Amino acid sequence: MIEVNAPVTMSDVARAAGVSTATVSRVVNGHYGVSARTVAQVRSAIEHLGYESSLVATSLRRSRTNVLGLVAHSFQSYTAEVLKGVMKALSRSGFDLIIYANSDLYGSYSEGWEQRHLTRLSGTLTDGCIVVTPWGEVRSRTPVVAIDPVRGSTGPSVISDNLTGATTAVEHLLGLGHRRIGFIAGRDSLASAWSREEGYRAALTAAGVPVDPTLIGRGDFNPESATPLARVLLQRPDPPSAIFAASDGMALKVLEVARELGFSVPGDLSVVGFDNIPESALTQPGLTTVDQSMYQLGYEAARMLKSLVTGEWDEPSQIVLPTSLVVRDSTAPPKSAARP
Partner DNA sequence: ACTGCAATCGTTATCGGTTACGTTTCCAGG
Partner DNA sequence: CCTGGAAACGTAACCGATAACGATTGCAGT
Could you say whether residue 136 binds its own copies (CB under 8 A)? no
The window from 38-46, 81-89, 203-211, 263-271 that contacts its own copies (CB under 8 A) reads 81-89
- Read off the DSSP letter of residue 190: B
What angle (nearest 5°) sits at the alpha carbon of residue 318, between those of residues 293 and 226? 50
Closest CA to 244 of 276, 222, 263, 217: 217
Partner whose binding site includes residue 5, from its own copies, DNA, none (CB under 5 to 8 Å by kind): its own copies
* Closer residue to its own copies, CB minimum distance, 38 or 53: 53
Could you say whether residue 18 binds its own copies (CB under 8 A)? no
Span 137-166, contacts to its own copies by CB under 8 A: 139, 141
**Cα distance between residue 31 and residue 70, in whole Å:** 31
Could you say whether residue 124 binds its own copies (CB under 8 A)? yes
* Closer residue to its own copies, CB minimum distance, 7 or 237: 7
* Closer residue to DNA, CB minimum distance, 38 or 222: 38
Cα dist from 51 to 10, 42, 47, whole Å:
7, 11, 7
The continuous run of DSSP H or E covering 249 comes out as: helix 248-260
Closest CA to 141 of 157, 156, 111, 121: 121
Closest approach of Cβ 6 to its own copies, in Å?
8
Closest approach of Cβ 143 to DNA, in Å?
18
DSSP string, 68-86: EEEEES--SHHHHHHHHHH
Cα dist from 90 to 59, 83, 301, whole Å:
20, 10, 10
Closest approach of Cβ 76 to its own copies, in Å?
7
Q: Which residues contact 20 (CB under 8 A, 6 or more apart)?
A: 14
Closest CA to 68 of 138, 129, 154, 134: 129
Q: Which residues contact 273 (CB under 8 A, 6 or more apart)?
A: 245, 247, 248, 250, 251, 252, 280, 287, 288, 289, 290
Could you say whether residue 96 binds its own copies (CB under 8 A)? yes
Span 233-292, contacts to its own copies by CB under 8 A: 278-279, 281-282
Partner whose binding site includes residue 76, from its own copies, DNA, none (CB under 5 to 8 Å by kind): its own copies
Paired strand residues for 326? 289
* Closer residue to its own copies, CB minimum distance, 96 or 315: 96
Could you say whether residue 4 binds its own copies (CB under 8 A)? yes
Closest approach of Cβ 233 to DNA, in Å?
48
Closest approach of Cβ 65 to DNA, in Å?
10
The window from 24-32, 39-47, 112-120, 173-181 that contacts its own copies (CB under 8 A) reads 112-120
Binding site for DNA (CB under 7 A): 7, 9-11, 18-26, 28-29, 31-38, 51, 53-54, 57-58, 60-62, 123-124
Could you say whether residue 90 binds its own copies (CB under 8 A)? yes
- Read off the DSSP letter of residue 286: P
In the chain, the N- to C-terminal Cα span, in Å, equals: 89
Chain residues in the site for its own copies (CB under 8 A): 4-7, 52-57, 59-60, 74-76, 80, 83-84, 87, 90-106, 115-116, 119-121, 123-125, 139, 141, 278-279, 281-282
